[in-house]
């Protein structure tokens, strides 16, 4: 694609040209493990290595639009299905050997992801265990290890004071399902009784639907929807037993 038609006052030599991309940290929970979408790169640099999904921002789209589009291309999820928020930007010279590129990282949280289909510049896509990726420096191409770490830390912090954990759950969920989200993302184990008291006692967090689940073995659990509150008072604190 060529440069856009120069509008009034446009001086193409007045600023250094950058490539701008959005990269996605797409998190979900599978088998009680926190997983992230990674794609296998089909072209150099890092051909054959795993990287976060992402791509160039088009000349006529906003940053959140670009993130939504890339998310749909890589996972088939629409913006209505997931929580999507900007995390941070990265622009160290040399982070991409091909060109000068600034990347805006977006965090996407989803309850259940459909089958992954590889994008145009990726030959494969899969879910990778987040702890394993973070424990192995260089597991991801470019500086994507840092992007992933920053995104995961953002998610971990926001569980405390926002209803973000419900983004990992289906529209209706039980307190135990919500607790598993906190336990998996934080990597801790929480007391079911205290957790139940806290989440049901925080005003506006959970709305009972009246229904309950019948599951194999054990008492049926009440089903909840997420409420209106965007900030939890009191918060769900991280240091629990």
Partner DNA sequence: ATCATAGTCGTCACACTGACGAGAACAGGG
Partner DNA sequence: CCCTGTTCTCGTCAGTGTGACGACTATGAT
CA distance 109 to 72: 13
How far, in Å, are 73, 90, 110 from residue 77 at the CA level? 8, 25, 9
Q: What is the DSSP letter of 166?
A: G
Q: Is 134 in the site for DNA (CB under 7 A)?
A: no
Q: Smallest distance, Å, CB 165 to a second copy? A: 19
Which x/- pattern, by CB under 8 A, does the window 63-92 give for a second copy? Answer: x----------------------x-xxxxx
Residue 135: enclosing H or E segment and its boundaries? Answer: helix 130-135
**Nearer Cβ to a second copy, position 10 or 189?**
10
**How many Cβ atoms sit within 10 Å of the Cβ of residue 181?**
22
**Nearer Cβ to a second copy, position 61 or 132?**
61
CA distance 211 to 172: 10
Binding DNA by CB under 7 A: which of 89, 123, 200, 230? 200
Q: Is 229 in the site for DNA (CB under 7 A)?
A: no
The answer to whether the CB of 52 falls within 8 A of the CB of 140 is: yes
Q: Is 239 in the site for DNA (CB under 7 A)?
A: yes
From the list 83-91, 96-104, 111-119, 219-227, the region that binds DNA by CB under 7 A is 219-227
Q: Is 136 in the site for a second copy (CB under 8 A)?
A: no
- Closest by CA to 166, choosing from 203, 219, 207, is 207
**Nearer Cβ to DNA, position 92 or 233?**
233
Which x/- pattern, by CB under 7 A, does the window 145-184 give for DNA? Answer: -----------------------------xxx--------
CA distance 185 to 177: 12
From the list 25-33, 100-108, 134-142, 207-215, the region that binds a second copy by CB under 8 A is 100-108
Q: Smallest distance, Å, CB 12 to a second copy? A: 8
Q: Phi and psi of 170, rounded to 5°? A: -65, 170
CA distance 5 to 10: 9
* Count of residues of this chain found to bind a second copy when the rule CB under 8 A is applied: 39
For residue 106, give the 3-state DSSP assignment: strand
Q: Smallest distance, Å, CB 64 to a second copy? A: 9
Give the total residue count for the chain.
Answer: 241
CA distance 82 to 10: 38
> Which residues bind to DNA, rule: CB under 7 A?
174-176, 191-194, 196-198, 200-201, 212, 214-222, 234-235, 237, 239-241
> Which residues bind to a second copy, rule: CB under 8 A?
1-4, 7-10, 13-20, 44-45, 56-63, 86, 88-93, 97-100, 102, 104
């Amino acid at each position: 694609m060529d440069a856009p038609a120069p509008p009034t006052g446009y001086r193409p030599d007045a600023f250094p040209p950058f490539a701008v991309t959005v990269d996605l940290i797409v998190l979900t929970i599978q088998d009680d493990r926190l997983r992230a979408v990674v794609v296998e790169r089909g072209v150099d640099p890092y051909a054959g290595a795993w990287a976060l999904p992402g791509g160039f921002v088009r000349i006529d789209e906003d940053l959140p639009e670009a993130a939504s589009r890339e998310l749909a291309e890589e996972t088939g999820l629409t913006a209505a299905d997931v929580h999507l928020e900007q995390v941070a930007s990265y622009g160290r010279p040399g982070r991409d050997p091909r060109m000068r590129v600034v990347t805006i990282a977006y965090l996407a949280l989803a309850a259940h992801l459909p089958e992954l289909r590889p994008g145009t510049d990726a030959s494969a896509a899969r879910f990778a265990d987040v702890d394993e990726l973070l424990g192995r420096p260089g597991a991801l191409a470019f500086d994507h290890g840092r992007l992933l770490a920053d995104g995961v830390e953002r998610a971990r912090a926001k569980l405390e004071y926002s209803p973000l954990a419900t983004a990992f759950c289906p529209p209706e969920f039980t307190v135990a399902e919500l607790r598993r989200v906190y336990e998996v993302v934080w990597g801790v184990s929480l007391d079911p009784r205290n957790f139940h008291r806290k989440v049901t006692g925080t005003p506006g967090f959970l709305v009972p639907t009246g229904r309950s689940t019948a599951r194999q073995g054990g008492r049926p659990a009440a089903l909840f929807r997420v409420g209106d509150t965007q900030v939890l008072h009191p918060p769900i604190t991280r240091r629990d037993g």
